[in-house]
Structure 1
């Protein structure tokens, strides 16, 4: 179907109302968040369920955004299909090994002294491949996500102040408390953007004057009638082609999210419900007792142990970790904090101080191991800025210069080189 209405030709006052509606939507779509993958881009192939497009009353882009903002779904259960097609090389187990090692050095992460069930590392698996999730929520304090695999199941359950994660493959569980009120909790079910609503929230935040927003007909998703909101960048140079959000015609909750790249081809992100119910889940859904013989890791104990080393509480550091930070890491690197250049969909984040140090004080691309690894995956480029390596995916690209600066964004390789040249 042809778009019902485009707001980019609307009068100034109406256009401002549309932008206000987007900002409200970005703030208030939170109730539909069940669980999440950090910063994730997800791609899947499931077609819209049902045959034929439903005949629904016409609605403007502004009205549909306001409908999303007004949505207040507190109870639901269903099945979500999710996968990622970033075009990354097949690294076998290297990616998971690196992630596990990285998190083992942080508070509450996986690793040899952590837990295979820790959500911080386990849910990184959602960043690649195709997955089936079962989700359930009952208000702000009860959520459950289950990752269904061929011969195993992994679940994250929040029930009030208790957070449980269980990995049936390893028969390990992770437990933490205070999830309802502790802001530094590393991962809770509602923090992980694994539903269409979570991703729609981020897309609507990006919708400004550099964006065209239209209603692009109707569809049926998980047996429910839905409108399709189409978001397109007006700018050239971005890797984002379009974002389509299927919005439940009755509740206003996003049911499906699809991000296609400017270069064409399969979706980079395509996450949608295949089954959904808005009935209240049974209370037992959020109960969990570790099976007999399960190894249980207490996340609060790990956090206290590791946090004491980083926050100077005077306790002994875990074995194998230094007792104090290196001198050159104790204070922030002046001028090395992240900055942005460009606007809208062409925004580029700049990291590093150009002196071989990243904002965290860690090594930049000059480190032999890091530069060797990046060099094997990326493209070597030169310009007025000097030389560096461009690491590319189908959505996000990053240029790491030999001097230690990083330019990253959902933009083309040429745009990154141009930004680096302008920064010299």
Structure 2
């Protein structure tokens, strides 16, 4: 196979569909941005300092190099940026997606379920470190504060220096505490490697994978793996992964939309070191006076709040019922064009002024968020980002995927 010949990977379609179902469970019109974040989970483009002359390699060999990489120790700085074409929601995105209510109801600002999802919008600088599967640290650097999430053995700590609040959990040996993940929320990758793994798992016969030259990232020589949909109708134009030529570790991840323009997701190392990080990187003791929230208390608070942040919107309380594997959710199509169909409890659509569910000002806000569409299915509203689009019909059915508005309407018509 020539260096730039394409290669198809098999068996990933099912994983892609499952990921979209998981993301789709959180749909509500005003939080489409949050869904996009959960689906893709995650920086200004990092300038290349030249194209190094490296030995030729095929796409299959490069994929195998990524899979075979046994690098477990590294530290560095990652720049990460997400541009969905909508205003940054900051912490609200995490509240909407995870169903949390934020510190207004007493939740800790250090809770990873809320804080880490802020990576779903805007530009952020992260410091990362890893020493095997049991020791990781991610720190989000802010103007006047720092947020850190530290995993060391069965202990997980998170700390927000801006509020002097800490969060603590003890894992049960499977990476979970009381049935909930105590690490960064699923769907919120924090490194180029995690992002690349998500895309490669989803790759199948509908995917073209080629080697697209070389680059230099964070001072290291890298190959560029280019991943593109073979199907039309996807909002994803291409994904490029810069892979370290020596270690096989992905150093940079760039997702471009099919509509053109700047990257939707761009994440890459600006500095990276594959030496063993200092042991102190993974130790944490709450500072004097810090308010510490235990994971059990945070879990109990979320149960009390029910739909959490979604509850402020009429009819949103039951939207989480159509979760992964639910009889109320099914997947239409495959590969890059997979669309999740969710039947909302009660079969109710958007609240309207006419129904008396929302005041005129709220109705105007809802109307401004989407485009009215109609077809065999009746009528509905499409809510759009540069990546994930969602159609909610008048009977309360939701169609969501990384596809165009036309594809959503077609799916709804076929299901009518």
TM-score by length of 2: 0.81
Shift of 1:189: 4.3
Distance 2:217 2:98 in 1: 39
Structure showing greater relative contact order (alpha-carbon pairs closer than 8 Å, 6 or more residues apart): 2
Give the direction of change, closer, same or farther, for the CA distance of 1:141–1:213 in structure 2 (3 Å limit). same
Which segments of 5 or more consecutive residues in structure 1 lack a partner in the other structure?
9-14, 27-36, 311-320, 322-327, 358-363
Distance 1:254 1:394 in 2: 24
Q: What RMSD over aligned residues (CA atoms) do the two structures have, in Å?
A: 3.2
Alignment of 1:95-114 (within 5 A): 95=92, 99=96, 102-104=99-101, 111-114=104-107
2:183 counterpart (188, 194, 198) = 188
Aligned equivalent of 1:219: 215
Deviation string 1:312-355 (CA, Å, 9 cap, x unpaired) is xxxxxxxxx9xxxxxx99x9899852111111111111001595
Distance 1:353 1:304 in 2: 25
Aligned equivalent of 2:404: 412
2:262 counterpart (266, 277, 293) = 266
Tell me whether 372-381 or 217-226 shows the greater mean CA deviation.
372-381
- Asked if 1:365 corresponds to 2:350, the answer is yes
Give the direction of change, closer, same or farther, for the CA distance of 1:119–1:7 in structure 2 (3 Å limit). same
Shift of 1:382: 1.2
Tell whether the 8 Å contact from 1:143 to 1:190 is kept in structure 2 after alignment: no
- Asked if 1:81 corresponds to 2:79, the answer is yes
Shift of 1:112: 1.9
Aligned equivalent of 1:119: 112
Tell me whether 177-186 or 294-303 shows the greater mean CA deviation.
177-186
Shift of 1:110: 5.4
**Secondary structure, in 3 states, of the residue corresponding to 1:123?**
helix
Distance 2:125 2:85 in 1: 20
- Asked if 1:237 corresponds to 2:233, the answer is yes
Aligned equivalent of 2:62: 64
Give the direction of change, closer, same or farther, for the CA distance of 1:387–1:282 in structure 2 (3 Å limit). same
Shift of 1:96: 5.2
Distance 2:326 2:111 in 1: 35
Tell whether the 8 Å contact from 1:256 to 1:270 is kept in structure 2 after alignment: yes
Distance 2:344 2:121 in 1: 31
Which of structures 1 and 2 has the bigger CA Rg?
Answer: 1
1:349 counterpart (340, 346, 363) = 340
Distance 2:173 2:140 in 1: 22
**Secondary structure, in 3 states, of the residue corresponding to 1:64?**
helix
Aligned equivalent of 1:34: none
Distance 1:97 1:185 in 2: 16
Tell whether the 8 Å contact from 2:78 to 2:270 is kept in structure 1 after alignment: yes
**Secondary structure, in 3 states, of the residue corresponding to 1:103?**
coil
Shift of 1:202: 1.1
Aligned equivalent of 2:138: 145
Aligned equivalent of 2:3: 4
